[in-house]
Structure 1
Amino acid sequence: MTESIQGPGMSLPEIIAVLGAVGLVLARWLPPACRRPTTIGAAAVVAASTVVLAVVGVRWQLVPVLVCAAVMLSLAVPALVRGRDGRPAWRARWWLALPGTVVCLGLIATGPAAVWALPVPVFPRPSGQLAVGTTVLQWTDPDRPETATPAPDDRRAVVVQLWYPARPSAVGAERARYGGRTAHEAHVVFGALADYLGAPGFLLDGAADARTWSVPEAAVADTGGRFPVVLFSPGLGGVRTQNTAWAEELASRGYVVVGVDHPYDSAAVVLADGTTVRTRVGATGDDAVDRRSVDDWTAIRAADLRFVLTQLGRLDRGEIRGPFTDRLDTDRAAVTGHSVGGAAALLAARHDARFAAVIDIDGAPHDPHPQPFHQPVLALAHPVDPAVNPTYLPQLTHVLNLGTSTGYLLVVPGSAHLTFTDAPLFLPPVPSLVGTQSRTGALRMTLATTVAFLDATLRNAPGDLAARLKAYGELTVHRPDGRR
């Protein structure tokens, strides 16, 4: 993964608007000879930058800046008008101007601060040798009813997004949006995610405006042979694109990554006909009821993952038309997921031996009747205080001990639950939220550990897997013979 080049997160017109607003505020305190030209110059700068921003679009973070500039301009104009004696017609007293100056400077500062805290994400350029393409498909399982709706003939549908090795596209080819196929879909999805988190929808507008490195519908790379497949299930209320940077990096290294949207669970799923399906996930406050609900959602997700693997096999055989005939190696398929998606990955693997490997990314198991499974497992986890959650790591350890193949539990210091997703790229760097690593450092860690595991299990790469994993945290190896 190549480190992205990321500036202050503000465009030149935005920077100019901020500087102009500061100039309007501070002009009051300059020597008399400098006040008038400074005010006129700052006003001209703010006016010009505002016109440009009105054309290209004003981000919500800049609203306080422009409001303060407008207020200061309304106060500055009367001060520029001179009476017959040559003095300003009106000028605020210093004891009134001083607190006003402090308040305005504080509001102006919130603009750059908000841009820094909630930026438009800049995705690191994938470092693999292959370009990346992406496509979105929708499949309906005729054998499973949709239990979230009362209609007896409603069947379970899923939306999947594939990130795959692609042929190089023409210079200037449009790159895929983050979060959706269109601007409308991206804003619907991120608005729903914000709503699910209990935050105003506009806070994630920056993420909805981002572009990734993959090219929609790009031609599949002509490298010969089939590509190993990695299925991904997002966290509870999450969406298929929540680990896009990770998916694109894997695709550039020769994997096909398949992110799954689970309708009525994912925050919002936009179907092929334009219908938006919002999440019905919610807590009741009754721990026993909520545990059963999560168990049920996990089982549905696991069934979704098994169905998607079946469809990928049909896609490879040409039973479903598309560019992936003879390109998907479903005999080398890993099932992965974040949070409850990781629990679904574990459950799917237990019920389906077609999966060759499992990655559980910070997900507590939700299997009412845990039994042995036979695939190698990598479990990534953030440090958990036993006083806060005494069952998470013991449950995970118990499940890994049941396996008949080697399991790896890696607890990553300095990580949080969202460290392992794209969230560090566009959420505030609050340790409890995204951990203490840098915005791209978290992605590099997640990638390094999962690629080492996938290369070892799906490609039989040589080397000491445990030694590679141990470099990133506290590793416990669970072997079938009981050795650590």
Structure 2
Amino acid sequence: MWRRTPGADDGRVTEIIPGLSMSPLEILALLGAVALVLARWLPPAARPRVTIAAGAVLVLSALLLGVVGIRWQLLPVLAGAAFALPFAVLPVLRRRAGRPAWRARWWLALPGSVACVGLIATGPAAAWAFPVPVFPEPTGGFAVGTRVVQWTDPHRPETFTADPDDLRTVVVQLWYPAQKSPAGTQRAQYLGRTAQEARTVSDALARGVGLPGFLVDGPARARSRSVFDAPVDTGGGRFPVVLFSPGSGGVRTQNTAWAEELASHGYVVAALDHPYDSAAVVLADDRTVTTETTSSGDPDQDEKLAAGWTAIRAADLSFVLTRLDALDRGEPADPLTGRLDTGRAAVTGHSMGGAAALQAARQDHRFAAVVDLDGYPHGPASPALDRPALALTQSITPATDPRYLPRLTEALDHGTATSYRLTIPGAGHLTFMDGPLYLPPVPSVVGSLGRTRSPRVVAGATLAFLDAVLRDTPGDPAGALPAYGDLTVHHPGTNP
């Protein structure tokens, strides 16, 4: 499995090899640098040939990388090679000129060689820790298409601005079952419609967690598994709809692997950017709206703020369902007209988005099911949930907010429909988004399931629930969910 870096349409030399987290060009540069350092320790007859070959490979690959774009992870490799280059090449040049070759004593050369190799080794280590994400191949029977739409609610003013004529606008990305694209078709840019939008969003996400943008530049270089504007699948039938709200400061693309997996199994996923809440939202007129939701530092005040922001998100979700329903009726005519089964709609979200999904399900009875991906419930606990709910949670540890589980349990216990809480062993809070694909594999940050397994488990559990409650032939979620974690079933009427 290979992954093409953005803008690199000139062959596989610019694609990332999974596991190694480096492209063939980068690997060539790495091998050339290592060979250049080690040439000094080879038998005298082999040194000139190895030095010349290693230098040629290194220079050529570095020049090509300069054209397609050098990642910061490769800079230590080039620095180590640059330090070793004169010590490796000068003896060869002197010998060819008929002059006596000079080499440093071994006890002087050894520390320098070790230092160069150590510097070079930090390159692949950094590439592994902060990779260009390689998205898993969806396992369903459909290819996946994607597109982005922008909708304005004529009935809601924008509460984050003082302009009374500013109406609430949301940006929505759709993933849907599509016709199979020809081999070699360019895949969708991750994090944005263009490379520039992807960089804008990536930099904003990095600033949100206090990191320099260059450190996590991998996502801005990545491409997912879907194809922009791919033709909708022509097999007939209508697709259930799944709406998604990201976490606080999160963006519509943060669960792309999850969305593509659902779409490959016959769902249409609509993920929202919430302007002034999401880290960065690039609007159709090229304006970029950044987040204005910040902590006050006071827990009680923060809870009130979170409840207000959750209410705005819940209204956004209901508005998008209304627009999808209109789209299905042909208002306006659209490739998805007649293909959206909004009567079988689920509302989902991660973190604060999960709280918004719970609120939306309480308030809007058009939603037939709700999935909360490790979201702490904010806002009022009434009315009671009257739709099947699934709450996926990380492993509960002493470090977990002690209010989280009781608050979530209360919400599920007082529902009038059967609900499910699934605790996934080894999961962290960021396991429930794309984070494990491109963040350092630190268990306290992304859990311990690994880059490959994390998206599979979360999507698999979500599909097991949605297939049971939304498909034409209902099933029992309790029969499939235990395969993914520790299940607790909350039956209606059994709790005070």
Is TM > 0.5 for Structure 1 vs Structure 2? yes
Letter in 2 for 1:132: V
Check whether the contact 2:469–2:475 (CA below 8 A) recurs between aligned residues: no
Asked if 1:390 is matched to 2:402, the reply is: yes
**Cα–Cα, structure 1 residues 430 and 400, in superposed 2: closer, same or farther, change >3 Å?**
same
Whole-Å separation in 2 of the counterparts to 1:139 and 1:295:
24
Check whether the contact 2:381–2:411 (CA below 8 A) recurs between aligned residues: no
Whole-Å separation in 1 of the counterparts to 2:155 and 2:470:
30
Check whether the contact 1:315–1:325 (CA below 8 A) recurs between aligned residues: yes
- Which consecutive segments of 4 or more residues in structure 1 shift more than 6 A? none
What is the aligned counterpart of 2:490 among 472, 478, 484?
Answer: 478
**Cα–Cα, structure 1 residues 80 and 167, in superposed 2: closer, same or farther, change >3 Å?**
closer
What's the secondary structure of 2:367's corresponding residue? coil
Q: Which residue of 2 aligns with 1:62?
A: 74
Question: CA offsets per residue over residues 324-370 of structure 1, 9 Å max, x none?
Answer: 22221111110000000000000111111111100000000001454
Whole-Å separation in 1 of the counterparts to 2:294 and 2:259:
28
Letter in 1 for 2:327: L
- Report 1:266-305 matches (<5 A): 266-305=278-317
Whole-Å separation in 1 of the counterparts to 2:487 and 2:284:
43
Percent of counterpart pairs with the same letter? 62
**Cα–Cα, structure 1 residues 387 and 59, in superposed 2: closer, same or farther, change >3 Å?**
closer
Asked if 1:121 is matched to 2:160, the reply is: no
What is the aligned counterpart of 2:369 among 347, 357, 363?
Answer: 357
- Report 1:198-277 matches (<5 A): 198-277=210-289
Whole-Å separation in 2 of the counterparts to 1:336 and 1:229:
11
- Report 1:173-184 matches (<5 A): 173-184=185-196
What's the secondary structure of 1:332's corresponding residue? strand
Whole-Å separation in 1 of the counterparts to 2:146 and 2:98:
71
Asked if 1:309 is matched to 2:341, the reply is: no
Q: What RMSD over aligned residues (CA atoms) do the two structures have, in Å?
A: 2.1
Letter in 1 for 2:100: R
Question: CA offsets per residue over residues 418-469 of structure 1, 9 Å max, x none?
Answer: 1121112122211111111131211121122111111111115454321311
Whole-Å separation in 1 of the counterparts to 2:398 and 2:316:
32
User: Offset of 1:409 from its aligned partner?
Assistant: 0.6
Q: Which region of structure 1 is more displaced relative to structure 2, 164-173 or 372-381?
A: 164-173
Question: CA offsets per residue over residues 47-69 of structure 1, 9 Å max, x none?
Answer: 12112212222121111111221
Asked if 1:144 is matched to 2:144, the reply is: no
Asked if 1:432 is matched to 2:452, the reply is: no
Q: Which residue of 1 aligns with 2:434?
A: 422
- Report 1:365-380 matches (<5 A): 365-380=377-392
Q: Which region of structure 1 is more displaced relative to structure 2, 163-172 or 294-303?
A: 163-172
Asked if 1:452 is matched to 2:460, the reply is: no
TM-score (norm 1): 0.94
Whole-Å separation in 2 of the counterparts to 1:32 and 1:174:
49
**Cα–Cα, structure 1 residues 85 and 125, in superposed 2: closer, same or farther, change >3 Å?**
closer
Q: Which residue of 1 aligns with 2:100?
A: 87
Whole-Å separation in 2 of the counterparts to 1:393 and 1:66:
50
Q: Which residue of 2 aligns with 1:16?
A: 28
Check whether the contact 1:178–1:186 (CA below 8 A) recurs between aligned residues: yes
Letter in 2 for 1:335: V
What is the aligned counterpart of 1:404 among 416, 436, 447?
Answer: 416
Check whether the contact 1:378–1:409 (CA below 8 A) recurs between aligned residues: yes
Check whether the contact 2:83–2:116 (CA below 8 A) recurs between aligned residues: no
Q: Which residue of 1 aligns with 2:8?
A: none
**Cα–Cα, structure 1 residues 404 and 95, in superposed 2: closer, same or farther, change >3 Å?**
same
User: Offset of 1:168 from its aligned partner?
Assistant: 2.4
Q: Which region of structure 1 is more displaced relative to structure 2, 119-128 or 24-33?
A: 24-33
Q: Which region of structure 1 is more displaced relative to structure 2, 383-392 or 409-418?
A: 383-392
Gaps of 5+ in 2: 1-15
Check whether the contact 1:371–1:402 (CA below 8 A) recurs between aligned residues: no
User: Offset of 1:223 from its aligned partner?
Assistant: 2.6
Question: CA offsets per residue over residues 124-161 of structure 1, 9 Å max, x none?
Answer: 22222222111100001111111112222111100001
Query: What is the number of residues matched between the two proteins?
Result: 480
Check whether the contact 2:468–2:476 (CA below 8 A) recurs between aligned residues: no
What is the aligned counterpart of 2:88 among 51, 62, 76?
Answer: 76
Letter in 1 for 2:301: V
Asked if 1:107 is matched to 2:119, the reply is: yes
Check whether the contact 2:188–2:225 (CA below 8 A) recurs between aligned residues: yes
What's the secondary structure of 2:397's corresponding residue? coil
Q: Which residue of 2 aligns with 1:186?
A: 198
Whole-Å separation in 1 of the counterparts to 2:108 and 2:375:
56
User: Offset of 1:264 from its aligned partner?
Assistant: 0.9
Q: Which residue of 2 aligns with 1:331?
A: 343
TM-score (norm 2): 0.92
Whole-Å separation in 2 of the counterparts to 1:107 and 1:198:
26
User: Offset of 1:173 from its aligned partner?
Assistant: 2.6
Q: Which residue of 2 aligns with 1:160?
A: 172
User: Offset of 1:87 from its aligned partner?
Assistant: 3.4
Q: Which region of structure 1 is more displaced relative to structure 2, 458-467 or 65-74?
A: 458-467
Check whether the contact 1:343–1:364 (CA below 8 A) recurs between aligned residues: yes
